[in-house]
Amino acid sequence: MRPKLKIFSDFDGTISFYDTWIEMGEFFINDKEKWAAVIKEFEEQKIGARECFLRECALVENFDITEFNRIIDAQRLDPMFGKFVEFCNKNRLPLTILSEGMDYYIGRILGNHGIDLPYFSNKLIISADGKSIGLEFPYSDSDCAKCGTSKRNILMNMCGDDDISVFIGDGFSDACVVNYADVVFAKKSLASYCWKNNITYYDYQTFGDVIRKLEKLLDSKSLKHRQAAKLKRREVFLRG
Which residues have C-beta within 8 Å of that of residue 93, sequence separation ≥ 6?
5, 6, 7, 87
Minimal CA–CA distance to 101: which of 75, 67, 135? 135
pLDDT score recorded for residue 222: 83
pLDDT score recorded for residue 43: 86
Confidence of residue 240 (pLDDT cuts 50, 70, 90): low
Q: What is the mean pLDDT of residues 187-195?
A: 97
Confidence of residue 145 (pLDDT cuts 50, 70, 90): confident
Confidence of residue 14 (pLDDT cuts 50, 70, 90): very high
Give the C-alpha distances (Å, rounded to integers) separating 161 from 29, 120, 157, 168, 180. Answer: 45, 22, 10, 20, 13
CA dihedral angle for residue 103, residue 105, residue 111, residue 114, rounded to 10 degrees: -100
DSSP H helices, 97-197, are 103-112, 151-158, 188-196
Residue ranges per structural domain of the chain: 4-19+74-239
Q: What share of the chain in percent tops pLDDT 90? A: 90
pLDDT score recorded for residue 45: 85
User: Which residues sit opposite 168 in a β-bridge?
Assistant: 9, 185
Q: What is the mean pLDDT of residues 30-43?
A: 95
Q: What is the mean pLDDT of residues 217-240?
A: 91
CA dihedral angle for residue 165, residue 171, residue 177, residue 181, rounded to 10 degrees: 30
**Architecture of domain 4-19+74-239 in CATH?**
3-Layer(aba) Sandwich (3.40)
Confidence of residue 237 (pLDDT cuts 50, 70, 90): confident
Which residues have C-beta within 8 Å of that of residue 183, sequence separation ≥ 6?
5, 164, 165, 166, 167, 202, 217, 223, 226
pLDDT score recorded for residue 76: 97
Condensed to tens digits (0 to 9), the pLDDT of residues 122-142 reads: 999 999 999 999 999 999 998
Q: How far apart are CA 194 and CA 75, in angstroms?
A: 28
Predicted confidence (pLDDT) at residue 210 exceeds the cutoff of 80: yes
pLDDT score recorded for residue 239: 83
Q: Pairing relation of β-strands 133-136 and 119-126?
A: antiparallel
pLDDT score recorded for residue 2: 65
Condensed to tens digits (0 to 9), the pLDDT of residues 79-111 reads: 999 999 999 999 999 999 999 999 999 999 999
pLDDT score recorded for residue 20: 97
pLDDT score recorded for residue 219: 92
Predicted confidence (pLDDT) at residue 1 exceeds the cutoff of 70: no
pLDDT score recorded for residue 213: 97
Q: What is the mean pLDDT of residues 12-34?
A: 97
